[in-house]
Structure 1
Amino acid sequence: MAETAARPFFPAESAHEPPPPARRARHGTCPSTTPESRFWRSFRNSQLCSGLIHPVTHLDFSPAPPHDLAVSVSTNLSLYAGAHSPDLSPKAFSPIRHFDDVAYSPSFRCDGSLLAAGSHSGLVQVFDAHRARPPLRRLRGHSRPVRVVRYPRAAEKTHLFSGGDDAVLNYWDVVTETSLLSIPAAHKDYIRAGAASPVSPEVVVTGSYDHLVRLWDVRATGGSVAAFNHGDPVECVLFLPSGGLLATAGGNVVKIWDVIGGGRIIHRIDCHNKTVTSLCLGRVGKADGGESRLLTASLDGYVKVFDYASFKITHSTRYPSMLLSVAFSPMGNVLVAGTSNGVIYIGKKKTKKEETQDMGGDVDDGFIVEKRREKRALRPTNFRYFQRGQSDKPSATDIVVQQRARVKLAEHDKLLKKFEHREALVCVLEKKNPNTVVAVMQELVARRKLLAAVKTLDDEGLGLLLSFLHRNATLPRYARFLMGLATKVLQMREEDIRSSAELMTHARNLKRMVAEEIQIQRTLQEIQGMISPLLRMAGR
């Protein structure tokens, strides 16, 4: 039987005085009103259709002005105008149609003049990012799809590295189209992630579906200089700006590693419900002086903003589709997310004029005159009236009234609540727990429904009851109650028992059990009769 939940205890000044009423938490304490949250909320979102219902696998902003955006969708590598334009519109020579199959991982050179990308056939191509021309270079060194192509972000302009599903890592000299370093078994599974160190162009990192993240120095050809086990297939890796910390994404977890400290994990981010697919860096405030943040995108449709200095999530944005890629403009005014259905979500930061107009203000001689909208009084006809105060947090002086814990009822308890007595008895007999069965029977006795339930049992239910009585009727704890019940059952259902061979077998077993118990009781009485005189003599 289910137990009743204990009531909460409220201390009061005296035994006869009720506790003071709980005060509502003060407004303004919600974390969504912080300056950083207001910064992320100032991005105005819009949709940009790629024209194809295919996954937007990779996004990359050019590090040089005007910060064009490269997008890989199916067999197209599209270029969009930079963050300075009113909207990210396709360029005149976009998309780049020089792929016979799926294009992957576009990467701009540090000066933004060249763009490299991989393909499903294993070919790596280098394009002129400012002119519509055929590929400048074709790098052949992979036999399977190339999912990782990266230019070092330092002053290095003639090299890039690539990794593919053939588990091969290549470090290329783009000018001569030759591989300076080729590692045929860099991993034991697909290489799906890679990044270059922001402080050294010779140091690169790769992530694979074998759960490992490996750090490579192209000057040392003996193998990887470090390896970390992420614990899940690695989808994305990213160096943080200092170059000493590394972020890895795999499964629904993002981990921060101390590379200089030998690969020690310093934090674990469990903020997504599904696989984290992409990472990028962003800045809060001005692009040249703001605080750096780590942005994570996941198949659950969320983009989370993580402050790795204080190790906390500072903002979250929900999108209506599964996200495969995310990128943030170096200017700090555009946030782009790519989805699995070909839609690109663009968030452009509002200007001060737009923010003022949204607040109902005016602009006079270059100065912003704020004129806030008057808040409408909430009435019971408004849905928000019934949601007010739900997101507020209690202060230190508030009394929090805990909700009574819900008791999970068993199946027989639910049937008893519905007054389905026969079904409750059969249900508890099937579980064969003597304590629970006797408890339900006693509850039915209290309701004066036990004999009525026994009377309406079918042959299967009656067999369960007789089998239970045969096993437990002689137990000292239940004997007084179950023996009387067994007598009543045999008297009430005599005709049904005689007409069924299976029920007759249960009845014979019950009779044999009673005879054995009577014989045991007689033997105990004889032993007691022999021992009692001896005990009296010993007492003298």
Structure 2
Amino acid sequence: MSLSFKTRDRHGYSVKFSPYIHNRLACSSSQYYGIAGSGTLFILDIIVDKLKLVQVFNWKQGLFDVTWSENNENIVLTASGDGTIQIWHLQQPQGPIKVLKEHSKEVNSIDWSQTRTDQLLLSGSWDGTIKLWDIFQDRSLSTYTSHENIVYSVNWSPRLPFIFASASGDQTIRIWDRRKTADANMVISAHQCEVLSCDWSKYDENIIISGGVDGVVKCWDLRKPNHFISQLNGHQYAVRKIKTSPFNAKIIATCSYDFTVRFWDILENKLLKTVEHHTEFVYGIDWNLHTPGQIADCSWDELIKVYSPLSGLSS
């Protein structure tokens, strides 16, 4: 069974399940395909056989990514086309409780650390920089400038507290250790095109997955970074986002500009399932941390979908 919610004149960019509340998710969206207009953050609950709207927040420009706080169930953050990051409180609907502004161009990606008590935030931008934030401070803690093009994705390692990865239009994935230097510890020439997404294995600290404009998904072992360990072909167009399963080490999900979401076995190097329930670019996907096998996606066709595509597998 697939549940749907219509965002109505808002095109979905990113979706994220709450780490606290098993049936809650957030979706960041933009008017006019993110080219112009405002942005809207939707907070939804899964209630039996429907998606119920809990809260709506509006911002003056498009919202391109969303992440939840890991230490407060009511805090959710968004990344905007005006170079800002908004911090929202679900019990304060009048507007963001704080706005972080340092990036000079749109913010594509944000990610909240899951492995430390101080819970730091990363942001990646069209200005080519990555910034590290403590949201209780007004200025960023560090700025990372090694990338030579747009930073499309930033991701904390789920297993190593100080390590994070980034994917960029400069055709690389870069691995960073925030304790050591402002320069990347490792540069992987991942694709011969822009790299739009990367995600870490939840089970092996050395495995990271990348997706590019070439429609190809590649798996990398950081101990042997000069060549991918496997390659997954099938998407017709760019791979916009990758999410590794929190319940099964070999399962990943990918979404694409080819209107599909695909599910793969990275150990057997095979496609498990293709889901074709959108009529536009699919921009966002996320696994539910509380319900094995359940996933949400969002698309430019103004639909958010929640479903369990791999029945019989703990994915």
Matches for 1:480-499 after TM superposition, within 5 Å? none
Q: Distance in 2 between matches of 1:214 and 1:204?
A: 8
Higher helix share: 1
2 CA distance for matches of 1:210 and 1:262?
Answer: 17
Corresponding residue number in structure 2 for 1:300: 258
CA contact 1:127–1:133 (8 Å) conserved in 2? no
Q: CA RMSD in A?
A: 2.3
After TM superposition, give the deviation of residue 346 of structure 1 in Å. 2.7
Deviation per residue, 1:275-321 (Å, 9 max, x gap): 111111336xxx5xx56510111122222111122222222222241
Extract unaligned runs of 5+ from structure 2.
31-38
Structure 1 pair 84–225 and aligned structure 2 pair: CA distance change class (3 A): farther
1:63 match: 19
Given that 1:213 and 1:227 are in contact with CA atoms closer than 8 Å, whether structure 2 keeps it comes out as yes
For the Cα contact (< 8 Å) 1:156–1:201, is it kept in 2?
A: no
Letter in 1 for 2:205: G
The residue identity in structure 2 corresponding to 1:89 is: K
The code of the aligned residue for 2:264 comes to F
Distance in 1 (alpha carbons) for counterparts of 2:25 and 2:217: 25
CA distance in 2 between counterparts of 1:263 and 1:172 reads 31
Asked if the contact 1:169/1:186 (under 8 Å) is kept, the reply is: no
* Paired AA for residue 325 in structure 1: G
Question: Can you give the 5+ residue segments of structure 1 that lack an aligned partner in the other structure?
Answer: 1-43, 353-540
Contact 2:200 2:244 in 1 (8 A): no
Partner residue in 1 for 2:285? 326
**How many angstroms apart in 2 are the aligned matches of 1:337 and 1:262?**
30
2:288 partner amino acid: S
Match of 2:62 in 1: 102
Q: Please name the residue that 1:489 is paired with.
A: none
Per-residue deviation, residues 119-161 of structure 1 (Å, max 9, x unmatched): 1111112122455353233212111101111101224444101
Q: Percent identity?
A: 18
**Which 4+ stretches in 1 moved above 4 angstroms?**
348-352
Q: Deviations over 1:249-270 (max 9, x none)?
A: 1021011111233454101111
**Is residue 2:205 matched to residue 1:243?**
yes
Secondary structure of the corresponding residue to residue 204 of structure 1: strand
Distance 1:158 1:346, change over 3 A: closer
For 1:77 and 1:349, locate their aligned partners in 2 and report how far apart those are by CA, in whole Å. 25
Instruction: Return the alpha-carbon distance in structure 2 between the equivalents of residues 136 and 87 of structure 1.
Output: 30
Q: Give the TM-score normalised by the residue count of structure 2.
A: 0.87
| 1:278 equivalent among 241, 264, 289 | 241
- Aligned equivalents of 2:175, 2:310: Cα separation in 1: 40
Which of 85, 93, 105 does residue 132 from structure 1 map onto?
A: 93
Measure the CA separation in 2 of the matches of 1:190 and 1:349.
Answer: 33
- The 1:265–1:291 alpha-carbon spacing in structure 2 relative to 1, beyond 3 Å, is closer
The question of 1:310 aligning with 2:268 is answered yes
2:158 is paired with a residue of what secondary structure? coil
Q: Give the superposition deviation at 1:335.
A: 2.4
Quick check: 1:234 aligned with 2:195? yes
* 2:230 corresponding residue in structure 1: 267
From the two aligned structures, give the one with the greater strand fraction: 2
Q: Deviations over 1:491-524 (max 9, x none)?
A: xxxxxxxxxxxxxxxxxxxxxxxxxxxxxxxxxx
In the alignment, which residue of structure 1 is the partner of 2:218?
A: 255
**Alignment partners' CA distance in 1, 2:12 and 2:121:** 23
CA contact (8 A) 2:293 2:311 kept: no
Q: Paired residue for 2:139?
A: 178
Question: Which letter does structure 1 place at the counterpart of 2:238?
Answer: T
Cα shift at 1:47: 3.0
1:407-422 to structure 2, matched below 5 A, reads none
Listed as ranges, the matches of 1:28-107 within 5 Å are 44-52=1-9, 54-74=10-30, 75-81=39-45, 83=46, 85-91=48-54, 94-97=55-58, 99-107=59-67
Structure 1 residue 215, shift from structure 2 partner:
0.9
Number of corresponding residues = 298
CA distance in 1, matches of 2:244, 2:14: 15
Indicate if the aligned counterparts of 2:3 and 2:50 stay in contact, CA closer than 8 A: no
CA contact (8 A) 1:275 1:299 kept: yes
1:86 positional shift: 3.7
Q: Distance between the aligned counterparts of 2:148 and 2:97, measured in 1?
A: 32
Q: Is the 8 A contact 2:84 2:100 kept in 1?
A: yes
**What is the one-letter code of the residue matched to 1:160?**
L
Q: Conserved in 1, the CA contact under 8 Å of 2:278 and 2:301?
A: no
